[in-house]
Structure 1
């Protein structure tokens, strides 16, 4: 018998979640029952887009619901997205593939293929570029570019009855966590949460979409500012407007304001729970996997930065949303193992950083603008081609030489670009593709990796640029505008460091501050559920998370 769909907001009335005193981060929840024997019925893999280890450390003592319960399990506060390309697509791809971008092929949110037979040379990470209907701006959504299986893919190979489900406001997050063979995948579009055109939308998801449409149509009042957030509120002028005191009032009909608010995360959780019920996830003796990526922290981080009232309200709401999702799974009697991490961290608005003991924070110089950089290369080399000699979406990351540049002139363009950028005060390092291809793949603790190590972990000779550029610490986006005041994507630790937390009922708690990597998550979960995979399946290692004498990794 199928259980009725119960919204996340209502789920908290079904079962109480453990509550931890706000003023005591070490307080413990009521004692859990002993850990269930055997594999869990469900893997709940949670990604919080742009939740840096710094944000987690700053706010963790205030969490009282889901993020508090997760802290009662195995906590790794110094996890690493160890590669340099700290963007949404590469970060999500590491979590359940257990591999670096250099191996899984997801080197960025987008890359260029100068030789592709279409006017749009930009390739979106979650599109099927083989489809004539696809473009980087209007993609035919697909996980085609992901070169390795995800955990869900390995599980389905072992037992086809295992269900692999992924949900996010972002299509690329759902694709990278679910992989190529999902049983259900949903992401947010203008019409609400949508899936692949060939699949029939779920009745439960359609109900969530109707709820979203109703909220957007009528609007909502500003959200309450928790008392402990009051110290975070304060106006910060940024390019003719201010940030720092927003409370997410929703004007009637403003779907973008709905998306850039905690409401997007709550709807994502409601979609996930509807699929738990409709697909009966975790209801049999075969382990299923449910990947849920919450995107609002990223939307809000870009729009308002990290240190204002806006982010404080968001993290308080995220805590409640995750708590309600876990409570709903409890109410259904599902034995699940949960993991939470992030795809990357982020940089606060440089105008606020300048006030808060980081006077070196600055916006990217105009001379590093895409058009300005291409013009400078043309001026230095005399090589002028239609559309300019370079293909790039921004100076940080990969830069490609246009296919219009003659092969014998390409080396001169690359050399000129490297010389131009090497002396720039906002550039930390610049590498040619040949240098990165020759470099060994990095190993050892990710906190000790050099810049070339970090860039090498993101490098794919078939997809990466002819030149890879890494900017200096605390260099923000060049132009601030409403909705875009801060960013990520650097090789700095504020972008690379993320929390990693595992929880299962009865799992003894532990906290290990030593660095681990997000590529360690998939092999750890494989050990928990008893999944056998080839020894070479993962780049990461299994983490012994149970805190007992027994080693779950079998070592």
Structure 2
């Protein structure tokens, strides 16, 4: 008889204690922060003026991905928020832009619009919104499924799309702010039939009203040496102001600037967002039980200030110094209400932004503006001369949408018409590259702008010819303020910081991508990845 001796080796003995604990160390609350229009270099440019308990706390005691990028274009708010929380790009989640042309319905549609639901908290149509156009789940959805809906999800943003798309399809609620003369946080019947009492109480308070005050710099303006002159030719301005320089009396400017919309266009909009988020954490008892809750929190006023004043403005610098205080206040509140070591935060952005082209031109850096409506007219004239038809284009709305039926009736092929349009567009000033539907459907691009365009291309929703402008060129005639939307580094390179439970301390310059966030959080929670996720867990931080 043979005797077998089995030796059991405890591999745990050779693994550091921290690694043994991490798989079971689930946070009670995950807070996903998206800062609208935050370039990565805002972290480094304004670092010396940040306090020790805001951005510096996240970076110094969290994990900082210094080379984090969007892997697709267009880089705008709707697709950005959807991609952060679903772990995939527009090619899969279907949010191809903030607004796009719906070829099937023959109309322009908005990414969060939903005519089948009703507004809650307002009599206007501002609440007729939902995530129904987003075709995949978010990690918040997967957490709800995993916890048998015991874990809560709350989405908050001044912008409807910034609250709705991150929170996903199964959220307990998403709340956004209606400006104008209303000044209230609202929702839709997609989530609930009436606002909870705590939301009604917040709306009935004087919190929003209190921000109609003077906006001056947080510190002495002479110390704002990381930005340009306060008075220059490259900034927009509020209505009623002849110049764009500090201070701004918001009480006096209120009427001419659409009431509460003015608050949204200043850093006080971020203050108001945080006020509401802290009220939500308390009232909804987020992070109070053993089932992980998710709070999606988007700070939108940074985008508004950037569009008006530009990335090199004193106004942008002051907005980020104030946002640093918001982050510090949030951390203090979470430590008190949820408990230090019981929550995980990630902070990123929905896109970056470029320098004002007119400013770059003044420095002899190649940049410029192009009028896409003129380009559209020239293209229509070209097709009329080339094919003797006036109906081959259905719509030019960013991409060129072809009339496929007209092409067939003319005895033409779509591929031929696409290529002739591409040839024409490549001969136009300020256009760098052109991609056709045929190319994007039949060729697999692995890097560069071609890959970014492909990752943003949805077979059913996108157009037939997509053109890319030269670097630092925008499709606008307004010579002030910054914008975004391209696949260039100034729009794709954004912060990504993880902090809290289950997060090691460190940093890396290895490339990470925005679609990696949701799989990383899913791995931390031990839940299923979002069903359309194409990103990968950031193992350099987790393993």
TM-score (norm 2): 0.83
Structure 1 gaps of 5+ residues are 1-33, 443-448, 547-551
User: Partner of 1:25 in structure 2?
Assistant: none
What displacement does 1:307 show?
0.5
User: Partner of 2:249 in structure 1?
Assistant: 249
State the alpha-carbon separation in 2 of the partners of residues 317 and 360 from structure 1. Answer: 33
CA contact (8 A) 2:345 2:500 kept: yes
User: Partner of 1:23 in structure 2?
Assistant: none
| Per-residue Cα deviation, 1:386-410 (whole angstroms, up to 9, x for no partner) | xx934233x4xx2212578453347
What displacement does 1:62 show?
2.7
| Per-residue Cα deviation, 1:48-77 (whole angstroms, up to 9, x for no partner) | 011011333322343213211111210002
State the alpha-carbon separation in 2 of the partners of residues 450 and 202 from structure 1. Answer: 47
More helix by share: 2
The alignment status of 1:418 with 2:425, answered yes or no, reads no
State the alpha-carbon separation in 2 of the partners of residues 185 and 149 from structure 1. Answer: 15
Structure 2 gaps of 5+ residues are 1-20, 120-124
The alignment status of 1:450 with 2:455, answered yes or no, reads no
What displacement does 1:381 show?
4.1
Name the count of aligned residue pairs.
492
User: Partner of 2:5 in structure 1?
Assistant: none
What displacement does 1:418 show?
1.7
State the alpha-carbon separation in 2 of the partners of residues 188 and 47 from structure 1. Answer: 16
The alignment status of 1:177 with 2:166, answered yes or no, reads yes
| Per-residue Cα deviation, 1:410-452 (whole angstroms, up to 9, x for no partner) | 736534432221112311111111110112264xxxxxx2222
What displacement does 1:212 show?
4.7
Q: How does 1:442-481 map to 2 (within 5 A)?
A: 442=446, 449-480=447-478
What displacement does 1:353 show?
2.2
User: Partner of 1:125 in structure 2?
Assistant: 111
SS in 2 for 1:514: strand
State the alpha-carbon separation in 1 of the partners of residues 360 and 198 from structure 2. Answer: 43
SS in 2 for 1:429: strand
State the alpha-carbon separation in 1 of the partners of residues 234 and 354 from structure 2. Answer: 15
What displacement does 1:45 show?
0.3
SS in 1 for 2:539: coil
CA contact (8 A) 2:151 2:292 kept: yes
Q: How does 1:11-50 map to 2 (within 5 A)?
A: 38-50=25-37
User: Partner of 1:202 in structure 2?
Assistant: 196
SS in 2 for 1:383: coil
**Which of residues 368, 389, 395 is equivalent to 1:391?**
395
The alignment status of 1:223 with 2:223, answered yes or no, reads no
TM-score (norm 1): 0.81
State the alpha-carbon separation in 2 of the partners of residues 323 and 104 from structure 1. Answer: 33
The alignment status of 1:320 with 2:314, answered yes or no, reads no
What displacement does 1:263 show?
1.0
The alignment status of 1:309 with 2:314, answered yes or no, reads yes
Task: Check 1:507–1:451 CA distance in 2 against 1; reply closer, same or farther (3 A cut).
Answer: closer
Q: How does 1:483-498 map to 2 (within 5 A)?
A: 485-498=481-494
Larger deviation: 270-279 or 414-423?
Answer: 414-423
State the alpha-carbon separation in 2 of the partners of residues 375 and 416 from structure 1. Answer: 13
What displacement does 1:337 show?
0.3
User: Partner of 1:112 in structure 2?
Assistant: 101
**Which of residues 359, 370, 373 is equivalent to 1:352?**
359
User: Partner of 1:343 in structure 2?
Assistant: 350
Max radius of gyration: which structure? 2
State the alpha-carbon separation in 1 of the partners of residues 118 and 208 from structure 2. Answer: 32
User: Partner of 2:516 in structure 1?
Assistant: 520
What displacement does 1:82 show?
0.9
| Per-residue Cα deviation, 1:194-228 (whole angstroms, up to 9, x for no partner) | 11145322333334434355236xx3113225243
Root mean square deviation, CA, Å: 2.9
